[in-house]
Amino acid sequence: MALKKWSQLPVAVKRNRAKLYEYIRLELNGELETYYFDSFGDSSCTEYLDSGTVMATGNIEWDYTQVEVLTNNAHPEFVGKRYFVEKNPKTDGSKAYQLYLDDGTTGTGMYVKIYAEAPKRTVSITVNDGTDPVQGAKVVIGSEEKTTGSAGGCSFTLPDGKSSVSITKTGFTDKTQEITVSYSGTSFTISLTAASS
């Protein structure tokens, strides 16, 4: 079946370019393996769109490999759609690769950075009392515990997805809050409430 040109796709698709895929298949160095990606709406990677997982299909044309949408939470109607990307890309996230509707001729306007392992982000947690920073608060994420400094902050290295943050500090009510880490979500502020006397 011939691929549709980008201009023939529904307007909703064009306006939600990253939502075309959350998981796609990708030929990577000739192996059928799972990789991770961040997607962007520009080659300089300033317009973050989405993150997900990619996997190989093995269909190559010239210097490009075909990719297929496996699942898409926001737009499931695009599952099974196919695109192309430059073959043998770097898998350390150091370069962004454009997705095409064919073998490198018609670009979609989407770019992906690819990782061999789930990328981990440096996440900043800032604790305040609603106005001022809270120093000396204990912040726990998973099995790791940090203490906030004079500016009320501390940092963790976390994978994408949801994490539970628990905070305790004498004079304040204990608090647990869920955060969602992503390429564009790495800084979080959590406010504590003074304990009632």
| Domain ranges in the chain with CATH number 2.60.40.1120 | 120-191
pLDDT at 117: 84
Low-confidence ranges of the chain (pLDDT < 70): 1-33, 55-58, 67-80, 197
CATH fold of the domain at 120-191:
Immunoglobulin-like (2.60.40)
Q: What is the pLDDT of residue 10?
A: 41
pLDDT of res. 26 = 47
Question: What was the pLDDT predicted at 12?
Answer: 40
Closest CA to 85 of 72, 75, 95, 71: 95
- Exposure string for 151-173, b = 16+ CB within 10 A, e = fewer: ebbbebebebeebebebebeebe
What pLDDT is recorded for position 64?
85
Residue with tokens 């095409």: 100
